[in-house]
Structure 1
């Protein structure tokens, strides 16, 4: 296996990884950044972002990520395509294996691997994944123009997906398990003000229905016992995310949900020299701006660690 040494290795991209690379580059750390399986992270599947400072008219997610990436690269970051497949933080040297064939020995590591979408866990959902079942409306919504679709979830992500789909689809059914939306007031107001979104509270999906051509609808169950079949060609799941920390189990301290634990007010993890930034350590906010801020924190913590401060 090829071995390479570096002062600072950043695992993952997105706002956290790219911002960490920007700060680490300016600090003269010559960071190597591996982008992971989804270069740019979740924001590459987001359309207009209206709450990132500095963009009065909003900015498309992919545009913002490409700008961050270019800025990091222009400052000297070595940005590469590839994903971490194993880690060894047990000795004095921090070792990360990339794509199962290259080992990086680093003086410090910043983990910014983000989080992945959760699914309901239904057999029928898995059967129709990619054939009508999706966790990304902005990726796949185009295929359902002028059709009826279902969105499952009650948070900001579900409401954002529902409003986006409502702009291109004939009808959107928003299936919410609770008797209220957990989304921000602004997102709740947007859903309420969109005439072709029908919100079904206290409702759970029993089965995704379909045939050889893909999804045809879903069978849902209300808390009062009523069952209903909704006819739809698209089924979008927006019920949260799971941190991408599987390779760090046993190497770093994780919380009950799998997020990396960091010392309060810092990016420091349970292993000296390893820092965490972005959604991989943030189960609460998960915003582009907080991820970018934590990427800055991680790079500054990393710099101070390497200086022995």
Structure 2
């Protein structure tokens, strides 16, 4: 909504009161933010910065784990996308068709643009076949990003970590979307059975995979949404994964949005998923350097 300049002070005050009332009502539809800094308004961004809202979620939707709630987590995620209108969504523990559903939800919030997505199926370490959800679809991690039209050269890159925990039946993976002249968006879910392996996987993604994808443009902004299975107070610490200048915005547990040095973190919200999954959602507002 655009508001024109008005010379009448009374009308100006009335306009601002109406805007504040509307923004307050908009936050009441889905989820409760335990640390709600972003759900009611977008941050003020300077003229040389580009705002990006990131929503990270582990939906536990395989149908095989105790945290599965019959698909309710996906419905909750759709509601959060409609409410918060993120420009990037990173997903863990989803079935392939869940990505289509979330892609449609993002498209509905901003029909003028397109949605780029990347999905990486986890690997069954015994036979290297994709891990399957109970419904027969591939199970894994995904990242989705709003893309202005046209945006040439967009590509998805996925892979399997060379280091895995031998006691984990699930081979861990990563998925990235390379948006030329904008940023690199990635998602991953590192090992839950061995923190040392989780740390090695995180370091491999940020230290080896990311530079290999974005080698054409040094200094490309990088954003990673992830369930790292590492905390800041754990041993090893999640902070040990980060190169100099990188920032970690977290839910005080294992949900993370990691961003490279050129990106400013403006705010975060930890979202109550209302029992639909065993992890909260994490909503982070970033300011990317204008390119």
| TM-score normalized by the length of structure 1 | 0.28
| TM-score normalized by the length of structure 2 | 0.29
User: Quick check: which one's helix share is greater?
Assistant: 1
